[in-house]
Structure 1
């Protein structure tokens, strides 16, 4: 019996050895589950060091990579969730979801994909060699350099490669925009904005995960969730310093107020909302109090009307493509603005906001505008379009 037990025990030991070899290869390295646990622990320590601004703790997890760039950013939370691990000998590549919140602005975490290169040191501990955006994920501002921060009354401005004075000027513009938008739209929104100012157009494109050509000549864009739930992260207004910088004072204010309007209306902007309405309303709020006449603010559309080329219908979503024809894009924005201006003139500013909310309350595009026109303005799409064409001819000649 004793001999048979020893033989059975030997077989068990051999079987276990074969199983370990199949799992981890030669050299007795940890199993894949063990490695994942170790790497997740490493990422947890690194995240805690970021939130605590603990340089020594951060360096114990690996390279200084981006620590200095993040020093000034007011972070409420920062964490990694390991989603994939690929190991080759003493090196590995970790894929992770980074979740972070900016203190006082983000109600929920921003979630982005990150890739980290890891190495195993002589003592058998993993450390971070480098970190970068995951494939298909946009850059974060601190990927582009050291972030400077300016706080306004209603704004937080984060910049790379920008002087403090310039960032303060953007904060003043944003602080003027927030109450102006609240006066037009109402106060049922966050009433603060986060503005990102990269070094250049190239930096803006990186933050949006798109080629430069898509945004050349575009002064600013706003990112966020349409139909945003109450717990969505704060929107980000991203400035193109190349295009925004050449605008005059009025133009800069109009643009930033336009983008702030997108932040305010986000929860009521849905797939049912056509771009002529979302962009037109943002322009309408942006131009309030600017003193700009229709002929000054809508020159391309004015030329078309003067040449007897008045558009047959309201701008289509395709007309708003940034990478398309610049004249067509300008006419689309101007046409949407004139449609909203007409509603405010003929039905009142309160009805204009009601119309916007009514359209966004629908689940799908089909029939949304038509239903809102009938319910809020008491008209049809056919009559509204005809009135808009007449309004263009009356205002732009």
Structure 2
């Protein structure tokens, strides 16, 4: 066999090998493709890589009210969003508009601390996350708070999305700030107002409409100022001035005293409500204050019912409670 013949035979054998190998590969690929077609779709899903600490995925789903809330706000102006994920995986969201970017950023920076502060006072039996909206104008503020009355000049409000859901099963809870909130309140006021409104959110499930305002608003004010380094006179300037002039509250403030109507000193009522709650916290401790709220936030309380609750929770009757509260105000206002 010549060298040329041997080369021809080798090339022929190589072609046969390549042909066989190609056919085998086609058969194998066809089989694999058929198997993939028969697999269920769930088996073909790409499994996500576990998130790192720097990109933690919230363990609690985002609030279901967010899509509808965003749609409502987008009908007024473009929406910007800030998301804050806390250490326990709960997601808080702040929504606003470009013209309120400063307030949106400030609220997002503080919401984690605000939730933690309210939880430390109230306990863990609430959502422990916040949905916060900053409105662009009074009309949007009314839409977001479901306020069908006259246009309000409020700077903030806690709102439940569905007014037909019983208070013990609140849904769609949010805190809404007005477009003027940051300018009117300042940084400290914005921070304290967030805590005030979040306290209403946290306590909503045990709060019945018509409960004494000095309890509802006073407790929220106490929560708002809790841990503040400001003095009694700074936190309650009107109450302090009146006490120094020899005028002390004759009784706990009535509900209508909190209404911001012409000729009504609602600021004084809020200061009195705060002071009554601050007195309880200092004299009996914060757990007793929370217990008192839970007992008194059950609806309207006549004098006899209030006396019974005070005796049950604090061991003192209504008359003695008011007298000791007045003495506490006098001692704080004159120091």
So what's the TM-score if we normalise by structure 1? 0.60
Q: Could you say which residue in structure 1 is the equivalent of 2:231?
A: 293
> Among 248, 269, 272, which residue is 2:186 paired with?
248
Structure 2, unmatched stretches of 5+, are: 1-60, 86-90
2:82, 2:94 within 8 Å by CA — same for their partners in 1?
Answer: yes
1:200, 1:240 within 8 Å by CA — same for their partners in 2?
Answer: yes
Distance in 2, matches of 1:106 and 1:355, equals 32
> Among 279, 284, 293, which residue is 1:347 paired with?
284
1:270, 1:363 within 8 Å by CA — same for their partners in 2?
Answer: yes
> Among 140, 156, 166, which residue is 1:220 paired with?
156
Q: Could you say which residue in structure 2 is the equivalent of 1:336?
A: 273
**1:134-283 maps to which residues of 2 (within 5 A)?**
140-153=72-85, 154-162=91-99, 164=101, 166-207=103-144, 208-212=147-151, 214-215=152-153, 218-224=154-160, 228-230=167-169, 232-271=170-209, 273-283=211-221
Distance in 2, matches of 1:198 and 1:108, equals 15
Per-residue deviation at 1:351? Answer: 0.4
> Among 301, 308, 312, which residue is 1:365 paired with?
301
| 2:107 match: secondary structure | helix
**1:295-314 maps to which residues of 2 (within 5 A)?**
295-314=233-252
Rg larger in 1 or in 2? 2
Segment drifting more, 144-153 vs 161-170: 161-170
Per-residue deviation at 1:106? Answer: 4.3
The change in CA–CA distance for 1:371 and 1:271 in structure 2 (over 3 A counts) is: farther
Structure 1, unmatched stretches of 5+, are: 1-102, 112-138
Distance in 2, matches of 1:242 and 1:201, equals 9
Per-residue deviation at 1:141? Answer: 3.0
The total of aligned residue pairs comes to 262
2:100, 2:179 within 8 Å by CA — same for their partners in 1?
Answer: no
Distance in 2, matches of 1:242 and 1:107, equals 24
Distance in 1, matches of 2:191 and 2:201, equals 15
2:155, 2:181 within 8 Å by CA — same for their partners in 1?
Answer: yes
1:23-57 C-alpha deviation (Å, 9 max, x unpaired): xxxxxxxxxxxxxxxxxxxxxxxxxxxxxxxxxxx
So what's the TM-score if we normalise by structure 2? 0.71
Higher relative contact order (CA 8 A, sep 6+): 2
